[in-house]
Amino acid sequence: MQETEAEITKMTTKKKGGLKNRISEIALIARDPILMTALIFSFIFLIVFVFYPIIRTSMRGFVTKDGVFDLTEFARYFDGTIFDGVNEGLKKINWVVQETVGYGRTYRYVLGDTLKMGCLTSFFGTLIGFIFAYATVRCNVPGKRFVHLIALIPTVSPPFAVAIAMIQLFGRTGLITKNLLKINFTAETNDIYGMDGLVIVQVLTFFTVSYLMLKSMMERLDASMEEAAETLGASRWYLFRTVTLPLLVPGIASSFLLLFVESMADLGNPQFIAGRVTVLSSQIYMAVIGEYNYQKAAALSLVLLLPTLVVYLVQRYYINKRSYVSVTGKPTVGKIYEKSKTIRVIFAVLVYLICAFIVIVYLTIIACSLVRRWGVDFTPSLDNWRTLIDRGLESILDTTFLSLFATPISAVFGMVIAFLIVRKKFSGKEILDFGSNLGGAVPGTIVGMGFILAFNFENVGMIYALAVIGSFFFITCVSKDWKERILILVCGVGIGLLCSCLDDGGPIHLLGEGIGLANLYYVVGAVLILLGLFINMQKGYKGAGKLSIWTGIYLVLNNLILYVSKPLRISGKRQQIRWLKVTLQQLADYIEVPFSLPTFFIGVCLFFITALVIYQYHGKFKTLLRVLFLACAITMLFTGNKLIMSGTAYVILFAFLVRSIPASVRSGVAALQQIDGSIEEASSILGGDSAYTFRKVTLPLITPALLSGLIFAFTRHMTSLSAIIFLVSAKWRIVTAIIMSGWEQEGISYAAVFSTVIIVVVLIFIGLINLITKKILKIDTNIDINSF
Amino acid sequence: MYLSLNHVTKTFPARGGAGEVNAVHDVNIEIQKGELVTLLGPSGCGKTTTLRLVAGFEFPTSGDIILDGKVINNVPTHKRDMSMVFQSYAIFPHLNVYENIAYGLHVQKVGKDEIKTRIDRVLDMVHLEGYETRAPNQLSGGQQQRVALARALVMNPKVLLMDEPLSNLDTKLREKMRFEIRQLQRELGFTSLYVTHDQLEAMVLSDKVVIMNGGKLEQFGKPREIYRYPGSRFVADFIGRANFLEAKVIEAKNGDMKISVFDKIISLNDPYYSNFSAGEKIDLVVRPEMVNVRRDAGKFDGKVVTASYLGESIEYVIDLYGTHITARETDPARMDIIQEGTPVKVDFVENCLHVLKI
pLDDT class of B51 with cuts at 50, 70, 90: very high
Instruction: Assess B13–A contact: CB distance below 8 Å, yes or no.
Output: yes
A32 with B76: Cβ contact below 8 A: yes
Query: CA of A533, closest CA in chain B: separation in Å?
Result: 23
Mean pLDDT of A647-664: 92
Q: Which amino acid is at A57?
A: T
Tell the burial category of A322 from Cβ atoms under 10 Å away from its Cβ (0-12, 13-18, 19+). Answer: exposed
For chains A and B, count residue pairs whose Cβ atoms are closer than 8 Å: 115
CA angle centred on A332, ends A329 and A338, rounded to 5°: 135
Residues of chain A with pLDDT > 70, as a percent, come to 90
B21 with A14: Cβ contact below 8 A: yes
Reported in sequence order, the residue ranges of A194-302 that DSSP labels E, i.e. its strands, are none
A152-161, A290-299, A329-338: least confidently modelled range: A329-338
Question: In this predicted structure, what is the pLDDT of residue A381?
Answer: 83
B107 with A688: Cβ contact below 8 A: yes
Mean pLDDT of A45-74: 88
User: A739 by DSSP, 3-state: which?
Assistant: helix
CA distance A533 to A526: 10
Cβ proximity of A676 and B88 under 8 Å: yes
Instruction: Assess B41–A contact: CB distance below 8 Å, yes or no.
Output: no
More confident of the two residues A353 and A751 = A353
Question: In this predicted structure, what is the pLDDT of residue A155?
Answer: 86
Candidates B20, B56, B94; nearest CB to A18: B20
A14 with B79: Cβ contact below 8 A: no
- Does A782 score more than 50 pLDDT? no
Strands B314-320 and B323-329: antiparallel
Mean pLDDT of A309-315: 82
Cβ proximity of B160 and B84 under 8 Å: yes
Candidates B82, B87, B213; nearest CB to A7: B213
- Does A339 score more than 80 pLDDT? no
Residues of chain B with pLDDT > 70, as a percent, come to 99
- Does A5 score more than 50 pLDDT? no
Q: Which amino acid is at B179?
A: F
Q: Which of A774, A743, A745, A737 has its CA nearest to residue A159?
A: A737
Please provide the distance, in angstroms rounded to a whole number, between the alpha carbons at the two ends of chain A: 47
CA distance B183 to B107: 29
Listed ranges A13-27, A76-90, A377-391, B190-204; the one with the highest mean pLDDT: B190-204
Q: Is the ipTM of this complex over 0.90?
A: no
Q: What is the DSSP letter of B15?
A: B
Q: Three-state secondary structure along B195-246?
A: EECCHHHHHHHCCEEEEEECCEEEEEECHHHHHHCCCCHHHHHHCCCCEEEE
Q: Which of A26, A33, A27 has its CA nearest to residue A615?
A: A33
Dihedral sign from CA coordinates of B225, B226, B232, B237: negative
Query: CA of B254, closest CA in chain A: separation in Å?
Result: 33
Question: In this predicted structure, what is the pLDDT of residue B17?
Answer: 60
Instruction: Spell out the long-range contacts of A298-301 with Cβ–Cβ below 8 A and sequence spacing 24 or more.
Output: A298/A57, A298/A58, A298/A59, A298/A60, A298/A61, A298/A449, A298/A453, A299/A60, A299/A61, A299/A62, A299/A73, A299/A74, A300/A61, A300/A73, A301/A57, A301/A58, A301/A61, A301/A443, A301/A445, A301/A446, A301/A449
A135-144, A357-366, B102-111: least confidently modelled range: A135-144
Chain A environment of B165 (Cβ under 8 Å): none
Chain B environment of A28 (Cβ under 8 Å): 59
Chain B environment of A689 (Cβ under 8 Å): 76, 78
Mean pLDDT of A135-144: 86
The neighbour count for residue A123, using CB atoms within 10 Å, is 15
Instruction: Assess B84–A contact: CB distance below 8 Å, yes or no.
Output: yes
Bridge partners of residue B283, in order along the sequence: B246, B356
pLDDT class of A21 with cuts at 50, 70, 90: low
pLDDT class of A189 with cuts at 50, 70, 90: low
CA distance A270 to A763: 25
Chain A environment of B237 (Cβ under 8 Å): 1
Question: In this predicted structure, what is the pLDDT of residue A19?
Answer: 62
Candidates B13, B18, B82; nearest CB to A22: B13
Looking at every residue in chain B, the average pLDDT score rounds to 90
Instruction: Assess B244–A contact: CB distance below 8 Å, yes or no.
Output: no
Mean pLDDT of B220-229: 92
Q: What would the pLDDT profile of B327-344 be if each residue is shown by its tens digit?
A: 999 888 888 889 999 999
Instruction: Assess B50–A contact: CB distance below 8 Å, yes or no.
Output: no
B151 with A32: Cβ contact below 8 A: no
Question: In this predicted structure, what is the pLDDT of residue A17?
Answer: 45
Mean pLDDT of A436-463: 87
Question: In this predicted structure, what is the pLDDT of residue A644?
Answer: 85
Nearest CA in chain B to A31: B76
- Sheet of B256-261, strand order: B264-269, B256-261, B243-253, B281-286, B354-357
- Does A744 score more than 60 pLDDT? yes
Question: In this predicted structure, what is the pLDDT of residue A506?
Answer: 66
Question: In this predicted structure, what is the pLDDT of residue A360?
Answer: 92
- Does A450 score more than 50 pLDDT? yes
Question: In this predicted structure, what is the pLDDT of residue A786?
Answer: 40
- Does A230 score more than 80 pLDDT? no
Chain B environment of A700 (Cβ under 8 Å): 94
Chain B environment of A695 (Cβ under 8 Å): none
User: B22 by DSSP, 3-state: which?
Assistant: strand
A43-52, A73-82, A763-772: least confidently modelled range: A73-82
Candidates A3, A15, A685; nearest CB to B19: A15
Mean pLDDT of A431-449: 88
Question: In this predicted structure, what is the pLDDT of residue A357?
Answer: 92
Mean pLDDT of B75-80: 86
A311-320, A550-559, B52-61, B196-205: least confidently modelled range: A311-320
- Does A327 score more than 60 pLDDT? no
Question: In this predicted structure, what is the pLDDT of residue A130?
Answer: 93
User: B72 by DSSP, 3-state: which?
Assistant: coil
CA distance A90 to A726: 32
Question: In this predicted structure, what is the pLDDT of residue B15?
Answer: 64
pLDDT class of A510 with cuts at 50, 70, 90: low
More confident of the two residues A13 and B336 = B336
pLDDT class of B210 with cuts at 50, 70, 90: very high
Q: What would the pLDDT profile of A98-111 be if each residue is shown by its tens digit?
A: 877 778 888 899 99
User: B118 by DSSP, 3-state: which?
Assistant: helix
B76 with A31: Cβ contact below 8 A: yes
A168-172, A200-204, A597-601, B222-226: least confidently modelled range: A168-172
CA distance B53 to B66: 11
Cβ proximity of B8 and B26 under 8 Å: yes
Question: In this predicted structure, what is the pLDDT of residue A629?
Answer: 92
CA distance A106 to A112: 10
Q: What is the DSSP letter of A316?
A: I
* Residue of B27, B95, B103 for testing the chain A interface, max A β-carbons within 10 Å: B103
Helices (H), A676-728: 678-685, 690-693, 699-701, 703-719
Question: In this predicted structure, what is the pLDDT of residue B16?
Answer: 59
pLDDT class of A7 with cuts at 50, 70, 90: very low
Instruction: Assess B22–A contact: CB distance below 8 Å, yes or no.
Output: yes
Looking at every residue in chain A, the average pLDDT score rounds to 84
Candidates B11, B107, B234; nearest CB to A686: B107
- Does A372 score more than 70 pLDDT? yes
Q: What would the pLDDT profile of B258-286 be if each residue is shown by its tens digit?
A: 999 998 999 888 888 888 888 889 999 99
pLDDT class of A330 with cuts at 50, 70, 90: very low
Mean pLDDT of B80-94: 89
Chain B environment of A425 (Cβ under 8 Å): 15
- Does A787 score more than 60 pLDDT? no
The neighbour count for residue A295, using CB atoms within 10 Å, is 20
Question: In this predicted structure, what is the pLDDT of residue A112?
Answer: 92
Question: In this predicted structure, what is the pLDDT of residue B29?
Answer: 94
